[in-house]
Structure 1
Amino acid sequence: MTVGRVRRSMVDEAEDSELDADLEEDGDESAPKKKKKLSGKVLVLFILLPILVIGGGAGGAYFAGLFDSPGPTEEEIAAAAAEKNKQVVFYDLPEMLVNLNTGTAANSFLKLGVSLELEDETAVADLELLIPRVMDNFQVYLRELRKEDLSGSAGVYRLKEELLMRINASVGPIKVNDVLFKEMLVQ
């Protein structure tokens, strides 16, 4: 054998060994890829699927109301109402007689008796000091009403809400819960 042939055969062997090494590496890489794909399937099957099933079941139970706390019983509601009613205090305002806005020469009058619902008795002393301001606010508002404004239950309800808003604005930190009509006469 000549030196050229020996070199050529050595080069061929080196190339063959490199090709074999590449094939082995490709074969080795394909095996872990299969393991990775298998481990991805295992991840989905054994980890993600149970988490989704448990999450879906918990969400369904939440929306079905299984996690809601039971509401108060009728006895508890009655006891709370009785407790609230013990604290409620009513304060009677002086009767008011005002002429209504008619826009004509004919006169129309409103006689109104009002009682105020307060949260506790401590507010009465403070409210008595502010009665002139309350009466003034009521008089100014009531004189601008027309007879048509007071017709029907909707008119009375609007009057009640307006008086409640005005009194709460005029008595400041004192909270008036409701305005109750004792007497209401439109003539």
Structure 2
Amino acid sequence: MSTTESDMEKTAKKSVKLPLIIGMVLALLGGAGGFFAVYSGYLLGGTQSAASTESDTDSYDALPDVGYVGLDPFIVSLTSDGPANLLRFAAQLEVPSQHVEEVERVKPRIIDVLNGYLRALSAEDIESPDALVQLRAQMLRRVQIVTGSERVRDLLVMEFVLS
């Protein structure tokens, strides 16, 4: 009786291993085939020649024609009663090159708008994990209202220290 049970266990083990091995081989072949199809351009981009691929990478190397207007760091006192009462803030404005001088002229107004906005915040508004993304969007919108939406492309936060 023990020989028939051991024979049944061996055949059961063999029948379980075979589909697993076949599955692993097919998964590897599928992954390799998918990689080849994407890499060679047959998938997700149509068929491309090597010359067109090289010219596409050259277009990524060209940087946009932008300049940066630096905003001097300033310290804002926050409205909260908690231990963190001061915020040190510094930023750079990404501006198309032809508008750099115009944005430089209204820099005091930009700092005034940002100072007023940041002063109205509490420490709780700033301490949340996604606060910087929301604050950055709000500040960019206010800067674009002052300068005109086509003059400032982005606001880059250089310092944001709560103490």
> Is the pair's TM-score, using the shorter chain for normalization, greater than 0.5?
yes
* Residue identity (%): 23
Aligned residues: 117
Deviation of 1:81 after TM superposition, in Å, equals 3.4
Change (3 A) 1:71 1:184: farther
Asked if the contact 1:90–1:117 (Cα under 8 Å) also holds between the matched residues in 2, the reply is yes
Q: 2-side partners of 1:124 and 1:165: how far apart?
A: 18
Q: 2-side partners of 1:146 and 1:123: how far apart?
A: 34
Partner of 1:112: 89
Query: 5 Å matches for 1:143-158?
Result: 143-158=119-134
Are residue 87 (structure 1) and residue 65 (structure 2) matched? Answer: yes
- Normalized against structure 2, the TM-score is what? 0.62
Gaps of 5+ in 1: 1-68
Q: 4+ residue stretches of structure 1 with deviation over 6 A?
A: none
Q: 1-side partners of 2:133 and 2:154: how far apart?
A: 12
Gaps of 5+ in 2: 1-44
Q: 2-side partners of 1:74 and 1:144: how far apart?
A: 51
Partner of 1:176: 152
Partner of 2:34: none
- Normalized against structure 1, the TM-score is what? 0.54
Higher relative contact order (Cα pairs below 8 Å, separated by 6+ residues) = 2
Which residue of 76, 85, 90 corresponds with 1:98?
76
Change (3 A) 1:174 1:185: same
Are residue 130 (structure 1) and residue 109 (structure 2) matched? Answer: no
Paired residue secondary structure (1:89): strand
Change (3 A) 1:75 1:100: farther
Change (3 A) 1:158 1:79: same
Deviation of 1:135 after TM superposition, in Å, equals 0.9
Q: 2-side partners of 1:161 and 1:71: how far apart?
A: 40
Which residue of 115, 124, 128 corresponds with 1:139?
115
